[in-house]
């Protein structure tokens, strides 16, 4: 019988953070890329679009992840010092 | 912040102060006397004119906590030379429907902006937002706090629902076929989450026009254009038509002959309209507003897929729903929008607008996914019909074989 209990929110957040951290500098990840990857990892029975959305929201609100912007398009990133940002 | 009193020498920019028209250089110079950011802006701009190259760098992580839009990062590539514009971020403020402000509200914004930014604004950006030009990263949170305390909010930027915008609609225009202001406000409130938190493959713009004059140019710019339209006959006051003719309007050549579908005739006494031929171009109504009015059965046509040339060429929107009643709570519209967003979220590539996705997968697939029946009004260009489906024909042929 399939285990239908969802992925714990903490675990989901950790996985999302890990994914964004690993892809830093390689890919501009969007919420959709992260959601698809998590559903693929945990399976549709255990991980939904809604739970991914909630996990991303919590990570953004806590400041652990931030939204980046370039050319009218957004991505999710680990906070870092901007290459463009001048030294103070 | 460095604040030198020495005036910046700007011989090239000075040229742009000449002539009768208001000059942006004149305005920046006025602000440069009291704001060092504006002063360095002049310096960097003069440098750009000399070098024939921009000295701005764009994008980045700047924003306010929890929001993915509303701030557009901008940095100088010569911070040593122009330290006061080392950061020069743009802030988008969600404008009220139809751009109605009290002078008190504008003063509130300007006070915050003079304290924390360059003092320079842009009313309004092409997105429709009220734009504040030029501040540094450390000023973003204080600006946001002060503005939200006064009831303002940031607009959209990035892969979000961009701030919905509309024409002045029934507040100032007799042709409005639905309440553009109310719909804009309603959509803004209903979709706060997607306005502030990027969840889409790319940007999504709603623009609401009250009539086919399309004063917000939604047909050229919006992923979804919601354009007021009527279903029944144009209202005609024959007396008023005759009064126009008497006052010198050549009804035949100025009205009937310029009608694109030739649906009107004038016998010197009465103006006759074959309404089923009318394509709602608004020419006759604009030319004789006292005599002609849109019909009484009003709503909106929903068009899809316009965009400016960023990744691919420009595209105009085309009809998706020829007529929809546009009344609160706008359930039919919201159901359609959310279905489209689901489809786009599922199949859209990164940085692909909905119009490009439709082009890639084909309108047939798109309509099928949305469970919308093809209709004759869904023509992308006059005298073409790209949405004829031969599936049944092929099925029949296959069965015969």
State chain B's mean pLDDT as an integer. Answer: 92
Contact list in A for residue B67 (CB cut-off 8 A) is 67
Average pLDDT over residues B149-174: 96
Nearest CA in chain A to B346: A32
pLDDT of residue B6: 63
pLDDT of residue A2: 43
- B88: closest CA of chain A, how far (Å): 11
The rounded distance, in Å, linking the Cα atoms of B86 and B83 is: 5
- By the 8 A CB rule, do B163 and B92 touch? yes
Instruction: Kindly determine whether residue A69 and residue B63, on different chains, have CB atoms separated by under 8 Å.
Output: yes
Nearest CA in chain A to B157: A72
Q: What is the pTM (predicted TM-score) of this model? A: 0.90
Query: What is the β-pairing status of strands B165-166 and B206-209?
Result: parallel
Contact list in B for residue A73 (CB cut-off 8 A) is 158-159, 202-203, 350-351
Instruction: Kindly determine whether residue B59 and residue A66, on different chains, have CB atoms separated by under 8 Å.
Output: no
How far from the centroid of its chain's Cα atoms is residue B109's Cα?
Answer: 22
Q: pLDDT tens across B73-127, in order? A: 999 999 999 999 999 999 999 999 999 999 999 999 999 999 999 999 999 988 8
Backbone phi, psi, residue B167, to 5°: -80, 175
pLDDT of residue B148: 96
Segment among B56-65, B271-280, B327-336 with least mean pLDDT:
B56-65
Q: pLDDT tens across A7-62, in order? A: 999 999 999 999 999 998 888 899 999 999 999 999 999 999 999 999 999 999 99
- For chain B, the first-to-last Cα distance in angstroms comes to 82
How many beta carbons lie within 10 A of that of residue A8, not counting itself? 11
pLDDT-derived band of residue B3, with 50, 70 and 90 as boundaries?
very low
Backbone phi, psi, residue B299, to 5°: -170, -140
Contact list in B for residue A77 (CB cut-off 8 A) is 61
Query: Which one is predicted more confidently, B212 or B311?
Result: B212
pLDDT of residue B401: 43
* Interface confidence (ipTM) of the complex: 0.84
Query: Which one is predicted more confidently, A83 or B191?
Result: B191
How is residue A20 annotated by DSSP? H
Two tokens at B247? 């006052």
Among candidates B211, B224, B208, which has minimal Cα distance to B97?
B208
Contact list in A for residue B160 (CB cut-off 8 A) is 74
- By the 8 A CB rule, do B225 and B204 touch? no
pLDDT of residue B59: 74
How many beta carbons lie within 10 A of that of residue B88, not counting itself? 24
pLDDT-derived band of residue A87, with 50, 70 and 90 as boundaries?
very low
The rounded distance, in Å, linking the Cα atoms of A28 and A20 is: 9
Average pLDDT over residues B259-281: 95
Average pLDDT over residues B293-316: 91
Instruction: Kindly determine whether residue A85 and residue B137, on different chains, have CB atoms separated by under 8 Å.
Output: yes
pLDDT of residue B383: 62
Using the structure block, give the residue that is written with the tokens 């042709």: B175
pLDDT of residue B374: 86
The answer on pLDDT for A83 being more than 80 is no
The answer on pLDDT for B47 being more than 60 is yes
pLDDT-derived band of residue B397, with 50, 70 and 90 as boundaries?
low
């Amino acid at each position: 019988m399939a285990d239908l209990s969802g992925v714990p929110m903490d675990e989901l957040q950790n996985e999302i953070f890990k994914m964004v951290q690993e892809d830093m500098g390689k890919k501009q990840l969007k919420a959709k890329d992260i959601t698809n990857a998590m559903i693929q990892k945990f399976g549709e029975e255990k991980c939904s679009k809604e739970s991914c959305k909630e996990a991303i929201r919590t990570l953004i609100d806590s400041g652990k992840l931030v939204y980046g912007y370039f050319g009218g398009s957004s991505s999710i990133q680990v906070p870092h010092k901007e290459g463009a940002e001048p030294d103070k | 912040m460095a604040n030198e009193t020495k005036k910046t020498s700007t011989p090239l920019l000075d040229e742009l102060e000449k002539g009768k028209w208001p000059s942006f250089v004149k305005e920046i110079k006025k602000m440069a006397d009291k704001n060092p950011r504006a002063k360095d802006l002049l310096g960097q701009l003069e440098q750009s004119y000399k070098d024939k190259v921009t000295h701005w760098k764009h994008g980045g992580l700047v924003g306010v906590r929890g929001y993915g839009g509303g701030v557009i990062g901008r940095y100088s590539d010569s911070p040593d030379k122009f330290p006061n514009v080392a950061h020069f971020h743009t802030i988008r403020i969600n404008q009220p429907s139809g751009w109605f402000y009290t002078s008190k509200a504008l003063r509130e914004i300007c006070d915050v902006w003079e304290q924390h930014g360059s003092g320079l604004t842009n009313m309004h950006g092409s997105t429709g937002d009220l734009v504040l030009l030029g501040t540094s990263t450390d000023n973003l949170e204080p600006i946001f706090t002060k503005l939200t305390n006064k009831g303002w909010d940031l607009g959209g930027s990035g892969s979000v629902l961009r701030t919905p915008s509309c024409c002045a609609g029934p507040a100032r225009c007799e042709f409005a076929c639905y309440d553009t202001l109310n719909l804009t406000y309603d959509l803004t409130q209903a979709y706060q989450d997607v306005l502030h938190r990027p969840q889409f493959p790319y940007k999504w713009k709603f623009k609401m026009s009250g009539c086919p004059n399309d004063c917000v140019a939604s047909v050229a710019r919006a992923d979804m254009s919601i354009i007021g339209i009527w279903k029944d006959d144009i209202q005609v006051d024959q007396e008023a038509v005759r009064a126009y003719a008497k006052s010198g309007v050549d009804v035949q050549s100025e009205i009937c002959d310029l009608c694109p579908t030739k649906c009107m005739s004038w016998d010197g006494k009465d103006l006759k309209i074959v309404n089923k031929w009318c394509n709602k171009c608004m020419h006759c109504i604009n030319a004789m507003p006292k005599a002609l009015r849109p019909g009484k059965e009003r709503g909106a046509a929903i068009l899809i897929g316009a965009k400016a040339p960023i990744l691919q060429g420009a595209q105009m929107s085309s009809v998706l729903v020829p007529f929809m009643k546009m009344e609160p709570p706008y359930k039919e519209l919201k159901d359609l929008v959310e279905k489209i967003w689901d489809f786009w979220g599922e199949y859209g590539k990164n940085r692909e607008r909905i119009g490009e996705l439709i082009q890639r997968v084909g309108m047939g697939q798109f309509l099928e996914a949305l469970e919308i029946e093809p209709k004759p009004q869904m023509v992308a260009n006059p005298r073409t019909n790209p949405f004829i489906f031969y599936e049944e024909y092929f099925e029949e042929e296959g069965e015969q074989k």
